[in-house]
Amino acid sequence: MTGAEQETNLELMPRTVRDKLDRVRIKLHLKEWQALTLAERLRLRDLPCADDADAKHYAAEVDALALRVTGNPAERMPDS
């Protein structure tokens, strides 16, 4: 699979998603990311996460998706 194909199907987690996950203090493993449908990956890429209300909604979305693919809520990063 070429880099362009990986970018198109979001096989690897884009930087924008990693930044949003950092903002909401959630750790989503690559295996969990890859278990999501393309539509779910696109949603996490495109959802806003700029203010506190957005971040709360984004975290809830990630939790729901993690629960679907793993049976558990998303893993939280420890406070630094």
Q: What is the pLDDT of residue 5?
A: 46
The whole-number pLDDT of residue 79 equals 80
The 3-state DSSP class for residue 76 equals: strand
User: How do residues 20-65 score in pLDDT, each as one tens digit?
Assistant: 999 999 999 999 999 999 999 999 999 999 999 999 999 999 999 9
- For residues 34 and 77, give the distance between their C-alpha atoms in angstroms, rounded to a whole number: 20
Q: What confidence tier does 1 reach under pLDDT thresholds 50, 70, 90? A: low
Report yes or no on 4 lying in a domain: no
9 belongs to a structural domain:
no
Identify the domain containing residue 57 by its residue range.
15-76
Residue 3 has pLDDT above 60, yes or no: no
**Cα distances (angstroms) measured from residue 6 to each of 12, 14, 24, 27, 48:** 7, 10, 25, 21, 23
Q: Is residue 6 a part of any domain in this protein?
A: no
